Amino acid sequence: MISSPLFYLLSLVFIATFFTLLEKKTKLKFLDYLPPVVLIYALSMILAGNGVFEVNESINGAYTLAKTNLLPAMLFLMLLKIDFSHFLKLGKNLILAYVLTVLSLAVGFISVSILFHFNHAMAVAFGALVGSWFGGTANMIAVGSALGVTQEAYGYILVVDSVNYTFWVMFLLFLVPFAPIFDKFVGASKREIGTLNMQDQPNKGGKKYLLLSLIAFTASLLTQEIAYHVEFINATTLSVVLASSFGVLGSFTKLRSLNGSSEVASFMLYILIALIGSKAVFESFSAVGIYVFAGFMVLVIHAIFMVVSAKIFKLDLFSITVASLANIGGVASAPILAAAYNKSLVSVGVLMAVMGYLIGTFGGILIGNIMIGLAH
């Protein structure tokens, strides 16, 4: 049994490091279906469930301290690479498809919360899932922290995310050969979609990991100090919003040219996932089925909304499917789908997915609070 807070944190860092290296150094196929975030959470949860981590005041204090400081730092770094000028270069049809995707998912989540008569716990949990499907896992953690998701609910939502995401990726890839038929059905005209140069950040000078970490934790400290002195808003929520806002502001400065922010933010995310897993002790997984089905129904409503919108606005299949996967799948899968249409369009998928990092936190908090307001 681990009783030392330092040993506890080192164990979690080791778990995060192991799966990070496994993803980078190997080409294991099962990682396509069980991404590192799920494996990190699962292993941490199994260790916690078997009593490896002692429940004591010092370990609880280490958990709180690490999570409180890492979350704003990660959000800040994650948003430094946002580039609004590139997003605007996508063209009106791709931007419209992206906006419609966000809107359709919002409608889907709110509709499902009403149809399934969500209680407060499910509304909060699905608020975190909104963050994930608008942006990514990092947004899920941010929104979940802001809304007060329980450790057990995080486990359910990771299962929902993984199962439905896997189905959605396969389904959208299956549709690729049918693009001409779909485009003819909706009346979409042939359009040339320009490629974007995503390599505007030179690699000169190497990765600035230490400098970026220093800046990120300074931003984290600043957000927490401000949040601590504002009484009318939940401190965690305000800290999340401020860290995201500071990251967006930083993207307009020379900070965006510093190399390595994505890598540092990703590793912080993995440690956060390990921390949350280390506190998740499940009584049973009996409720996970209804969560997965509810998540699937969100996708059904989203799909119907997008097909109708494509017919109305004459949007081609490439635009709506890449926009969809950029939100639901993120930067790991949207470029793959874009490449399935045309390898020169990979940058479109990347850019849409990166923009989701901005939308995910703010949108997740908004839609999450709406579902909480509608909860029974």
User: Tens digits of per-residue pLDDT, 119-174?
Assistant: 999 999 999 999 999 988 889 999 999 999 887 788 888 889 888 988 898 899 89
Q: How confident is the model at residue 217 (pLDDT cuts 50, 70, 90)?
A: very high
Q: Which domain holds residue 88?
A: 81-196+207-259+283-374
pTM, to two decimals: 0.80
Is 46 a member of any domain?
no
Average pLDDT, whole number, for the chain? Answer: 87
The domain tally of the chain equals: 1
Is 264 a member of any domain?
no
Is 33 a member of any domain?
no
Given this model, what pLDDT does residue 201 score?
A: 45
Is 348 a member of any domain?
yes
Q: Are 23 and 76 in contact (CB under 8 A)?
A: no
Q: How confident is the model at residue 200 (pLDDT cuts 50, 70, 90)?
A: very low
Is 238 a member of any domain?
yes
Q: Are 263 and 207 in contact (CB under 8 A)?
A: yes
Is 76 a member of any domain?
no
* Mean pLDDT, range 278-300, rounded to an integer: 82
Helices of type H across the chain = 5-25, 36-49, 57-78, 84-88, 92-115, 120-134, 137-147, 151-175, 179-186, 209-229, 235-250, 261-277, 288-313, 317-328, 334-341, 346-374
Q: Are 274 and 179 in contact (CB under 8 A)?
A: no
The string of DSSP letters for 54-75 reads: ---HHHHHHHHHHHHHHHHHHH
Is 106 a member of any domain?
yes
Is 55 a member of any domain?
no
The residue among 31, 101, 76 whose CA lies nearest residue 333 is 31
